[in-house]
């Protein structure tokens, strides 16, 4: 094999290895970006969940019989406001979470239960009150 053939072989091999390395780096970068999106989504979901729990806690603390509203600052610095309109054994809840200047409105229905409180980590309840329906927009 002549020296020019060896140079071409080494050059081609270097090109293949380089393209492969760049492709691996791109795949790694895409994986990190996807993971960060997932983290942000879960953080937002947990903040919204905490906002609903704080609103419910405030409502139940006052015996759950009257309208309630307020503003709370979450541990991550996010501000949210809530408004609860009591209707006897049910109540309508509206929570607005402000994140990066963009509002996210969560509406829910509270129901007063006398017994048979369902179990589960994702159930939002306090005392005899439980969020039975919710919608995020």
pLDDT for position 62: 76
3-state class of 123 per DSSP? coil
pTM assigned to the model: 0.69
pLDDT for position 38: 92
CA 97 centroid distance within chain: 11
- Token pair of 10, please? 């080494």
Regions in the chain scoring below 50 on pLDDT: none
pLDDT for position 79: 83
């Amino acid at each position: 094999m002549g020296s020019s053939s060896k140079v071409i072989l080494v050059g081609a091999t270097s090109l293949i290895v380089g393209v492969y390395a760049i492709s691996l780096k791109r795949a790694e970068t895409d994986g990190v970006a996807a993971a960060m999106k997932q983290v942000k989504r879960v953080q937002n979901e947990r903040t919204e969940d905490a906002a609903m729990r704080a609103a419910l806690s405030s409502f139940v603390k006052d015996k759950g019989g009257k309208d309630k509203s307020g503003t709370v600052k979450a541990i991550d610095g996010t501000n949210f406001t809530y408004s609860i309109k009591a209707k006897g054994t049910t109540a309508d809840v509206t929570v607005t979470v402000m994140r990066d200047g963009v509002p996210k409105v969560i509406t829910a229905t509270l129901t007063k239960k006398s017994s048979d409180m369902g179990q589960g980590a994702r159930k939002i309840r306090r005392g005899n009150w439980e969020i039975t329906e919710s919608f995020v927009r």
